[in-house]
Amino acid sequence: MDTNETKCQELQKKVSGLLLRHKSVLDSVTKFQESTARVNRAAVKSATNCGCIQINAKKQTIPEKVSESSIEDYHDFLSTHMQGELCENCKEVVVREIGNHFFYLAALANSLDISLEEALEKETDKIDTLGFFNLS
């Protein structure tokens, strides 16, 4: 890696050199969508097949007197709905699928002539500017 090159730039450069079969933007879009499903499936299988994590989803509840609490305190009231931690095997699979997802994100960005670094910087700036008002 060039010392002036970021990880995002390095990834985009390497993906650009490797993509032959899925060079079309249509292939990139559909492979990116497929990789999203694979990340989701790997996470869900951690609960349903392995059992290293449990998902117990229910309505998020925030106290009636919200005005007495600052927005920063909301973290104390909200839950991820997940208990446990990924075992080494499940974590390895999820990390691999997320890496694959990054590959196809970089391919899509390359097809559209978009810098991942620029997109990341803009999103970070937006979060810094809007803070909690950026809730999504």
Q: What is the DSSP string of 42-55?
A: HHHHIIIII-SEEE
pLDDT digits (tens, 9 = 90+) for 27-65: 999 999 999 999 999 999 999 999 999 999 998 887 776
Architecture of domain 7-50+87-130: Orthogonal Bundle (1.10)
Q: State yes or no: pLDDT of 75 exceeds 80.
A: no
Is the pTM value of this prediction over 0.95?
A: no
Q: Which two tokens stand for residue 93?
A: 């699979």
Q: What is the predicted pLDDT for the residue at 111?
A: 93
Domain edges within the chain: 7-50+87-130
Give Cβ neighbours of residue 134 (< 8 Å, ≥ 6 apart): 126, 127
